[in-house]
Amino acid sequence: MALGTAQAALHAHAHQHHQHQPYNADQREALLTGSNGSNGGASPRLMVSSVRRPRSLKDRCLDGAERGMDFFVKLIGPLLTIVCLCLVALVTRAYFVEVLPLLSARVCHNASDDTLRRYFERQEFHAATVRGREGILDSRSGRFIAADPRYADSVERLLSHHGALLSSVWTDTSPCGETVTVTAFGLFLLGNLLFHYFATMRLGPGRPPERLGAEVEEHLAAHDPEVRREEGQRVRYCKACRRIKPMRTHHCRACGQCSMKMDHHCPWVNTCVGWRNHRHFLSFLLYLWLGCSFFLLSSVDSAMPVLLGSHAGGDIWLLMAAVVSVAAFCAGALFLAWCGFLLLTNQTTIEFYGNHLASPPGHNPYRFSWTRNIKQVFGEHGWILLAIPSLAPPPGDGIIFPLNAGRGLPLPMLINERTA
């Protein structure tokens, strides 16, 4: 994710120098209509200046660095998606194999003695050693209950039906319903995390249509804040995709196509984050952070002895899962805070860096109130879509976005909020 943010910053920097270079009317006519007409036959709505600016050494260096980063991102993208899924599987395995048994024992500590006694009386336990850990073994089901190594008489006390000293219950059955509730909540977080992860990859940012209506083109020519009218440019056009760029649309070299409302290219999902999958990407970050928090809180008693070196044998997976969860928790918190800031201010990563790198610094024409900014991404019923997995399309069409008339824009770029 950090790589995608850096790529977006580099894209914005390069965008300030050479992204919107105009080209002559013959090229535009051939590209837009497929004809070989002359300047006189070109559409006056799309006519741009034929003046070209010579590219400086700095521009060429920026272009080369951007191409190199795009190639690297495209190369490692599929690998990072596999790594991400493997890490999720690692943490999930550690919870069910290492954490859940101890969680069951900790919850059962608050259960009544009669409940525990009825549970243990249905088993046939005897002292045993499994994986170098002492405990008691149920000869009927083969379930093993490890003793707490902090107590010398823990095995005897286990055999006496004292469940308070249980360290790890290797069973899928617990006399306590609280464990089922906690695990169900964890599965809810896991399910939403995987759903929004795959939805982000599957939906993508959205690609602009090949042709726009005449009214839409006129609207973009009059109101798109990124059009360089002082250079004679009427609309933004992508030579690689051979189509007009709507508002907030940029070309991604890693994806090889234009992305609507492009925020950045994320190698962890192997696609761009944009208009169509923005909600799913934010939801993925949120559930990633909540899932890591859930695992760390529920595995305190399991992971701390491993981190302190008091347990040995078979706990390497728990140690790896704990390290991964701590790293993902910290990284997820940082990126969630950053993406939350962009959401509340209604700007993309490219727009943020583009405005701050501009001379003089630009303004954000898309910013409204926090509530309206959130609704532009999540819709009117955003909280429901955040809790319940849904593939509902995002608000709007991804082509035209409302502009705030009070953000200090030149008059030709303004659009009344009520008519947007």
Q: Which residues are catalytic?
A: 266
Tokens for 18? 């050479």
CA 28 to chain centre: 37
CA distances from 412 to 219, 224, 236, 275 (A): 11, 9, 16, 25
Phi-psi region at 274: left, alpha or beta (left = phi > 0; alpha = psi -120 to 50) = beta
Residue 13 CA to residue 69 CA, distance in Å, equals 14
The Cα–Cα gap between 47 and 28 comes to 8
Q: What is the 3-state secondary structure (H, E, C) of 350-398?
A: HHHHHHHHCCCCCCCCCCCCHHHHHHHHHCCCHHHHHHCCCCCCCCCCC
The CA distances from residue 197 to 95, 236, 278, 281, in Å, are: 20, 32, 11, 7
Q: Using CA atoms, how far apart are residues 169 and 85, in angstroms rounded to an integer? A: 27
**330, two tokens:** 């910290």
- Please state, in angstroms and rounded to a whole number, the distance separating the CA atoms of residues 271 and 204: 6
Q: Which amino acid is at 163?
A: G
Residue 340, classified by CB atoms within 10 Å of its CB into exposed (0-12), middle (13-18) or buried (19+), is middle
Residues in the chain: 420
Residue 268: CB partners within 8 Å, gap ≥ 6?
A: 1, 4, 80, 81, 84
Burial annotation 85-113 (CB, 10 A radius, 16+ → b, else e): eebbebbbebbeebbbbbbbbbbbeebee
* Exposure b/e, 229-242, CB count within 10 A at least 16 = b: eeeebbbbbbeebe
